[in-house]
Amino acid sequence: MSVNRYTTRGWLKKRWFWLAVNIAAALPLIILFWQWGLGGLSVNPISDLTIRTGKAALILMMLSLACTPANILFGFRKALTVRKSLGLWAFAYAAVHLWIFFGVDYRFDWGFILDDTLLTKRYIFIGLAAFLTLLPLAITSTRGWMRRLGRNWTRLHKLTYVAGALIVLHFLWLAKGGRIEPFIYAAILSLLMIVRIPPVRRRAVQLRRRISDARTIGRPTKRPRRTASGPADALPNKAERLDARPMATSAHSG
């Protein structure tokens, strides 16, 4: 039992950030369905469900894309450990978002969906394209698929950037005129992509290291403590102990 307790404590100490991020990512979905079940949503619950799951998918996608820049700009390596988890949560929210729209709202009436949405409302077509882009990324996110695909896995997962752009475009076209929020997300996505450009990335890393070195140089060095009794009370070194050993032996034998 003590071994299991030690193992659990060690796992939590090592993976606490990953666990906290996953719990935080799941909470909005849990709260949303809890409110839906209790009738705590507005008079148009389907609209609430659609908007809130779509917004959560967008935010989590932005956070997933922000993990690498966080490491580049601030040296925050823990962010890399949750990059895949945030991407999978973004896919999960997008899947729920799609299910609510097509299944709950339109009841999978594909004829009506084609006539009323896909062929007339371009933002829905872009949203569907974003989900279909995320789908192979979610399926191939395991280590087994990484081994099977080899170098092609990295090439495939560059579609993450395409999916992020499509999600932001979906929000831009969906939003009514005069709203600034979609443009804020577009600006954030642009900055996250700019940081990844190799020359910008190298300059950012060099600047971070210079700042870190300057802080290290500016810190006062710790001086060794001096006891009140002075150096006479210091412990003997190895040579002194070796010299004292035969003396102790002769005294004992005498």
Interval 146-189: pLDDT, tens: 999 999 999 999 999 999 999 999 999 888 767 899 999 999 99
Domain count, the chain: 1
Residue 109 lies in a domain: yes
Note the pLDDT tens digit of each residue in 105-128: 888 888 887 877 777 788 888 999
CA neighbours within 13 Å on the CB side: how many for 133?
A: 20
**Mean pLDDT of all residues in 192-220:** 87
How much is the average pLDDT of 53-64?
Answer: 96
Structural domain of 157: 2-214
Would residue 51 count as lying in a domain? yes
User: What phi, psi does 219 have (nearest 5°)?
Assistant: -75, 140
pLDDT digits (tens, 9 = 90+) for 8-42: 777 777 889 999 999 999 999 999 989 988 888 88
- Does residue 198 lie within any of the structural domains? yes
Nearest CA to 74 among 215, 187, 218? 215
Judge whether 231 lies within some domain. no
* Residue 229: inside a domain: no
Asked, for residue 241, whether it belongs to a domain, the answer is no
